[in-house]
Structure 1
Amino acid sequence: MRIVSLISSATEMLFALGLGAQVLAVSHECDWPPSANQLPRATRSRIDSAQSSQAIDEQVKQLLARGEPLYEIDEPLLRQLAPHLIITQAQCDVCAIRLADVLRLQSEAPELQHTRVLPLNPTSLEGVLADIARIGVATNTESAELIAGYRQRIATIVDRTASLTVAQRPRVLCIEWIEPLMPAGNWTPQLIEMAGGVSGLAVAGEHSRYSTWEEVAAFAPEIILVAPCGFDLPRTLSEAERLPRVPGWQQLPAVQHRRVFAIDGNALLNRSGPRLVESLELLAHLIQPQFFPNGPNLPPGYWQPIG
């Protein structure tokens, strides 16, 4: 089967299912597993990601206000490849190529008349596992054993944290964008709760929304996770340098007790792929270290304390 993946999470799922050899092209953001970097890029971004957080946010708002896409498809490449299956997303026009653009191309290109488009739209960890199963069905690939392994790792965390009292659960804020401030929504609040924390300023299963530092002060987080969308750890650390200048920052319990952590959100939290299981394991280590002293088996460079 000839497959094109237009989202990084699907690429991770395909390789985890042993289908890497059938993937002909991926999105510009697909960088995991490392072998995916060798594949042709079927999308490109119109956003200058080298700019500051605020400048990137302004670019996004301007393009959306004009009704223009943030990402473009390499249409000649897809026509040439004529894949049997294109996997894309229906979740967020800011995060990846728009489903409407994929469907338009599929309907207009004669080479794609027999191509199936499979959109993914998970909002929870369970939704991610369900998408792995959907890809398995679409590619006639067995997925049950892989999913069972993920479920066992999840259960190892949840079985230990389920009995924690409210007093044993610290208040946790996960920052998905620094300027303007945006706490992480979608699956992240669920991961925090599973890992033994209390999530604030975002609702599980709902898109991330803008917030204010006054709301942060009222929530008084005891742990802060800084994981800007699309940024690796070095970029995250650079962006986090402005946080001490935020009014009231030094008075936050998480800052006073030195429980502020930078995380490679691009790899671990922003993508709705199988590595969210590793994200859960890392959050459990950071939120409840007495129960999870070792953390996941991650190489260096994925997270570090701030301050």
Structure 2
Amino acid sequence: MRKPRIVSLLPATTEIVCALRLEKRLVGRSHECDYPGSITNRPICSRARLDDRKPPETIHAEVARSIEQALSIFSIDLETLQRCRPTHILTQDLCSVCAVPMDVVNQALNELNSRQVTVVSVHPGNLEQVMASIHAIGAALEVPFRAEDLVARMQARFNAVYARSHELKTIPKVACLEWTDPLIAAGHWTPELVAMAGGYPLLGTVGKNAPTITMDDLAQADPDVLIIMPCGFSIQRACEEAAKLAKNPAWTNLKAVRTGRVYAVDGNTYFNRPGPRLADSLEIMAEILHPEDFQFGFSKKAWQKL
């Protein structure tokens, strides 16, 4: 096999490539790929048509408008992509809002008349599919044994947390918010992380898209623990958006608020990325739900109690 030249258009696949010890073969990345820090000198091959500094309600409205008009919120820099001369492009077909979708990649390759490029599109809707994505990327890049080792190491960390949480007597009801205006409950792999960490997940469904909910829905569920993890936002931004939620009159009636069990997490770094750091995300979840039983050292830098 010729040495691969990899362009990754999804932060999670970039992290997978590096975890497979192929960082030197990464020749291009998306505008969102920022981990590990050593890859931030790679050329940026994509752009977003949205400004994530805007308020959540504005971002949501612009995304909805783009979907209604059948327009992608992402574009590919054809000139940069051509200069990268990739043999492999990694992307996803799970969410058109999260990263460059497959049809945009295919259109770019057609415009460049690039027929020799292998496109690997992953669909990590739950933890099993995240592991399958790692195997698929490892197979495409001809390092299947490295993929097996990475999956085994992640699974060992999952199992270690579950083995301890499974013995705990207290199982709090947990709601995770993936967006704050409108309220969107976390779906896909997040309910699995909650359950494995010793919680009972509310509102979201494993393997399903994140559902839009109302404050009444949240009040009716009345979680013991409420975790704010807006997609693509840092922990600082999550804290800011949580403060806005606190202005709603119904907020103070929530059990999680009354008992001081509302948390903000760095969703952009951890929970929103279906890659190797989901093992970190599970450990963070365990620390939040059962701080007396789990201490992994993520407090403050990855999550904060509000």
Task: Compute the TM-score of the two structures, normalised by the length of structure 2.
Answer: 0.95
Counterpart amino acid of residue 166 in structure 2: A
CA deviation string 1:68-120 (max 9, x = no partner): 1101011122222221100000000011112111122223422x211000001
1:83 aligned residue = 86
Identical-pair percentage: 35
2:214 aligned residue = 212
Checking the alignment, whether the CA contact within 8 Å between 2:284 and 2:303 is kept in structure 1 is: no
SS in 2 for 1:271: coil
1:158 aligned residue = 162
CA deviation string 1:167-217 (max 9, x = no partner): x21010101100100011111011101111011111110010110111111
Q: CA deviation at 1:260?
A: 0.7
Matches within 5 A, 1:257-268: 257-268=259-270
Checking the alignment, whether the CA contact within 8 Å between 2:161 and 2:286 is kept in structure 1 is: yes
SS in 2 for 1:78: helix
1:236 aligned residue = 238
CA deviation string 1:121-165 (max 9, x = no partner): 111122212211211111111222222111111110111223456
CA deviation string 1:25-82 (max 9, x = no partner): 1000001111121111110010021110111111111122221110101112222222
Are residues 17 and 194 of structure 1, via their aligned partners in 2, closer, same or farther at CA, if it must alter by over 3 Å?
same
Matches within 5 A, 1:1-307: 1-110=4-113, 112-141=114-143, 142-164=146-168, 168-292=170-294, 294-295=295-296, 297-298=297-298, 300-306=300-306
> For residues 145 and 99 of structure 1, what CA distance do their matches in structure 2 show?
28
Q: CA deviation at 1:284?
A: 0.8
Q: CA deviation at 1:21?
A: 0.5
> For residues 298 and 74 of structure 1, what CA distance do their matches in structure 2 show?
36
SS in 2 for 1:86: strand
CA deviation string 1:232-259 (max 9, x = no partner): 0111111111111123211111111111
Q: CA deviation at 1:291?
A: 2.3
Q: CA deviation at 1:270?
A: 0.8
Q: CA deviation at 1:298?
A: 3.8
Are residues 79 and 100 of structure 1, via their aligned partners in 2, closer, same or farther at CA, if it must alter by over 3 Å?
same
Q: CA deviation at 1:5?
A: 0.1
Task: Compute the TM-score of the two structures, normalised by the length of structure 1.
Answer: 0.95
Number of positions where the alignment pairs a residue of Structure 1 with one of Structure 2: 301
> For residues 164 and 300 of structure 1, what CA distance do their matches in structure 2 show?
24
> For residues 165 and 225 of structure 2, what CA distance do their matches in structure 1 show?
17
Q: CA deviation at 1:288?
A: 1.9
Structure 1 unaligned segments of length 5 or more: list them: none
Structure 2 unaligned segments of length 5 or more: list them: none
SS in 2 for 1:245: coil
SS in 2 for 1:95: coil
